[in-house]
């Protein structure tokens, strides 16, 4: 009985802390509309927007959505947490408690154990932390949910079409969450952004796009091969890069005060400016309740003036991203010069709560500038209170790319190591189409790119939006393919690969075609290149985090084992070491149940057919 009373004291103390935290959050964000708990907005299409623990005002003129809000469960009048299972249930019900960091949670429990001598075992404590780590509601982030690509029978539909993507936001944000022993939200996992976050060693020729391809047996899906397609654009030196006219649009709203977001943002902007050439120009717009021009167009050589403008930024107020972008594009129009890198760089946590808050509504007002050749980069910062959906879709539909920064390493990668790729677009509205040979390939499945899907006829349609690719960018796509059992001549082709793109300032669609011969197929995993093994390992990791149907047939340990087959030169790479550590953390904290096991047991899985689930 004494043990039960001690656990009750812990529970009561935790609820008090949670209530205080909720009050502080409410006061800090009193200017914005609140959404408590986890809210899902249903759409007519096969997609959903998941909002977890966030506060977003959704009253766009173009569309009004009625949102059912699940209220935060009030503390029970009699907190009778007599067992650990009851304590875990209370933690699940208390959303504010889940917003505490793991260090804060551990501090609470250690303090209570010391002060009240509560006798929670290490095993019980571990169970409690695992419950919190596996809670999607703890993230306070907004994502859009996309269905996983199905397996296609080639004889019925041999053509796969999608737009290119060089974003890394999904992978970078997931890395931050895992580093804090928190599983990323499944809806925030985009496989292509995991795959394209890795650095591969593709051969390059003098063409705009160099194309590489290789296939190896799937380590996890029996009877299938992994087809790795790698594209790389021509690299440029700093001297070859065109002059840039850049408009920084900085979020200085109240939400930027948390997670050290504004300081990180200042550091990123300062690093970017320090790398610009003397012929580049830069301007700075800030926004909270309204948008203000802080720095008119200024030569990048006048760094002291630019740095002073950046260092004076302070946070406060609401988040009117619409006004910020409109003011930024207005300034970019006045700076526009043909042949220059004309670009708006939006920096934010994406938590827009004033004006239009949907990417479609915002982009509709800047369509002319976008079509003229002004490109967009969205730069995300922060982890709690973060709108991934807005930033990703603004970049997707706004002729641009989406980056995420969490630390100085990310800043170095984006604005020093890959600056030319980020600034100079070499192909816009870029698309990929793969036409599989039914004589060779019976089934196929594209890993990722669900939100980049295009219809077959969209490929050559100049009016259909594609992706934007910078100088030296790499684009990688993976397919699971099943080869026909009949022996085929080595001269046969697995598929025909086609690329469609426009020049940065042009409107004409250009095409590149390349056959993928059967000779690219390797007979063992070990005989495949390290790049093919690495790309599939990170894709498998993304599928596991996303709880994909096919991720049930392998474990995190299997992914670690695949990574261990890489050459020692690869295993010494920081990107591989970080990936291996993330896989270990996920293996340690992921205790989620198999979503499909009850109705579709793994023991009965059919590798050629996915059951209809809904």
Domain locations in the chain as residue ranges:
2-138, 148-236+427-604, 244-423
Name the band, by pLDDT with cuts 50, 70 and 90, for residue 603.
confident
Give strand ranges (E) for 337-456: 341-348, 375-381, 386-387, 400-405, 425-436, 441-446
**Three-state DSSP state, 169:** helix
Residue 12 has pLDDT above 90, yes or no: no
Residue 42 has pLDDT above 90, yes or no: no
- Range 351-365 average pLDDT: 75
Q: Give the span between the Cα atoms of 509 and 464, in whole angstroms.
A: 11
- Range 221-229 average pLDDT: 96
- Range 242-266 average pLDDT: 92
Name the band, by pLDDT with cuts 50, 70 and 90, for residue 113.
very low
Write the pLDDT tens digit of every residue in 266-288.
999 999 999 999 999 999 999 99
Provide CB contacts within 8 A for 576, sequence distance 6+. 534, 563, 566, 570
Provide CB contacts within 8 A for 49, sequence distance 6+. 40, 41, 43, 142, 143, 144, 145, 389
Q: What is the CATH number of domain 148-236+427-604?
A: 2.60.40.1230
Choice between 606 and 479, residue whose per-residue pLDDT is larger: 479
- Range 213-229 average pLDDT: 96
Q: What is the rounded average pLDDT for all residues in the chain?
A: 81
Q: At what angle do helices 574-589 and 556-564 cross, to 10 degrees?
A: 160
Name the band, by pLDDT with cuts 50, 70 and 90, for residue 224.
very high
Residues of the chain above pLDDT 90, percent: 58
- Range 146-168 average pLDDT: 94
Residues of the chain above pLDDT 70, percent: 75
Query: Which of 224, 232, 227 is closest to 532 using CA atoms?
Result: 227
Question: Which helix (H) or strand (E) covers residue 469, if one does?
Answer: strand 467-470
* CATH superfamily ID and name for 244-423: von Willebrand factor, type A domain (3.40.50.410)
Residue 346 has pLDDT above 80, yes or no: yes
Write the pLDDT tens digit of every residue in 387-435.
888 888 888 888 889 999 999 999 999 999 999 999 999 999 999 999 9
Q: Give the span between the Cα atoms of 61 and 83, in whole angstroms.
A: 50
Quote the pLDDT of residue 329.
93
Quote the pLDDT of residue 582.
97
- Range 575-581 average pLDDT: 97
Phi, psi angles (nearest 5°) of residue 368: -65, -45
User: How far does Cα 369 stand from its chain's mean position?
Assistant: 26
Choice between 518 and 396, residue whose per-residue pLDDT is larger: 518
Quote the pLDDT of residue 263.
93
Length of the chain: 614
Contact status, residue 149 vs residue 543, Cβ threshold 8 Å: no
Quote the pLDDT of residue 28.
38
């Amino acid at each position: 009985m004494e043990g039960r009373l001690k656990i009750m004291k812990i529970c009561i103390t935790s609820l008090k802390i949670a209530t205080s935290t909720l009050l502080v959050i409410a006061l800090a964000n009193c200017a914005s509309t609140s959404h408590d708990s986890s809210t899902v907005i249903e759409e007519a299409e096969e997609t959903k927007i998941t909002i977890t623990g966030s506060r977003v005002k959704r009253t766009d003129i173009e569309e009004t959505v009625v949102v059912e809000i699940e209220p935060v469960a009030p503390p029970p009048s009699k907190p009778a947490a007599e067992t650990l299972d009851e304590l875990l249930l209370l933690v699940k019900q208390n959303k504010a408690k889940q917003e505490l960091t793991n260090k804060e949670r551990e501090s609470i429990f250690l303090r209570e154990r010391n002060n009240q001598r509560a006798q929670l075992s290490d095993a019980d404590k571990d169970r409690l932390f695992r419950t919190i780590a596996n809670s999607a509601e703890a993230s306070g982030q907004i994502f859009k949910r996309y269905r996983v690509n199905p397996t296609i029978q080639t004889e019925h539909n041999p053509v796969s079409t999608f737009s290119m993507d060089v974003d890394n936001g999904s992978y970078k944000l997931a890395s931050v969450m895992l580093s804090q022993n928190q599983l990323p939200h499944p809806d925030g996992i985009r496989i292509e952004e995991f795959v394209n976050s890795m650095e591969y060693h593709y051969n390059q020729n003098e063409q705009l796009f160099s194309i590489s391809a290789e296939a190896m047996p799937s380590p996890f899906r029996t009877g299938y091969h992994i087809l790795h397609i790698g594209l790389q654009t021509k690299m440029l030196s700093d001297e070859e890069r065109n002059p840039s006219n850049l408009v920084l649009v900085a979020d200085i709203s109240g939400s930027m005060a948390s997670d050290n977001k504004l300081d990180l943002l200042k550091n990123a902007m300062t690093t970017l400016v320090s790398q610009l050439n003397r012929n580049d120009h830069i301007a700075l717009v800030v926004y909270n309740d309204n948008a203000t021009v802080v720095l008119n167009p200024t030569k990048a050589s006048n760094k002291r003036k630019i740095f002073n403008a950046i260092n004076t930024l302070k946070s406060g107020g609401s988040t009117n991203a619409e006004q910020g972008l409109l003011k930024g594009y207005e300034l970019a129009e006045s700076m526009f010069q043909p042949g220059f890198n004309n670009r708006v760089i939006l920096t934010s946590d994406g938590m827009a709560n004033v004006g239009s808050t949907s990417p479609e509504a915002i982009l509709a007002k800047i369509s002319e500038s976008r079509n003229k050749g002004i490109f967009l980069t969205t730069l995300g910062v922060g982890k709690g209170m973060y709108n991934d959906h807005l930033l990703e879709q603004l970049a997707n539909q706004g002729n641009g790319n989406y980056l995420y920064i969490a630390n100085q390493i990310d800043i170095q990668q984006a604005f020093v190591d890959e600056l030319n790729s980020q600034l100079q677009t070499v192909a816009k509205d870029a698309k990929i189409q793969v036409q599989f040979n039914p004589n060779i390939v019976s089934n196929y499945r594209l890993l990722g790119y669900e939100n980049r899907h295009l219809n077959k006829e969209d490929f050559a349609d100049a009016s259909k939006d594609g992706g934007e690719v910078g100088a030296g960018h790499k684009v990688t796509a993976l397919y699971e393919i099943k080869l026909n059992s009949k022996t085929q001549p080595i001269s046969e082709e697995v598929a025909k690969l086609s690329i469609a793109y426009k020049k940065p300032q042009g409107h004409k669609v250009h095409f590149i075609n390349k056959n993928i011969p059967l000779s690219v197929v390797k007979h063992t995993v070990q005989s495949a290149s390290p790049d093919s093994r690495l790309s599939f390992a990170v894709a498998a990791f993304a599928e596991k985090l996303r709880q994909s149907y096919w991720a049930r047939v392998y474990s995190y340990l299997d992914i670690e084992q695949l990574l261990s087959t890489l050459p020692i030169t690869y295993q010494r790479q920081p990107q591989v070491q970080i990936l291996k550590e993330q896989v270990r953390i996920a293996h340690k904290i992921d205790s989620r149940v198999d979503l499909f096991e009850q109705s579709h047991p793994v023991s009965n899985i059919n590798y050629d057919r996915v059951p209809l689930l809904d």
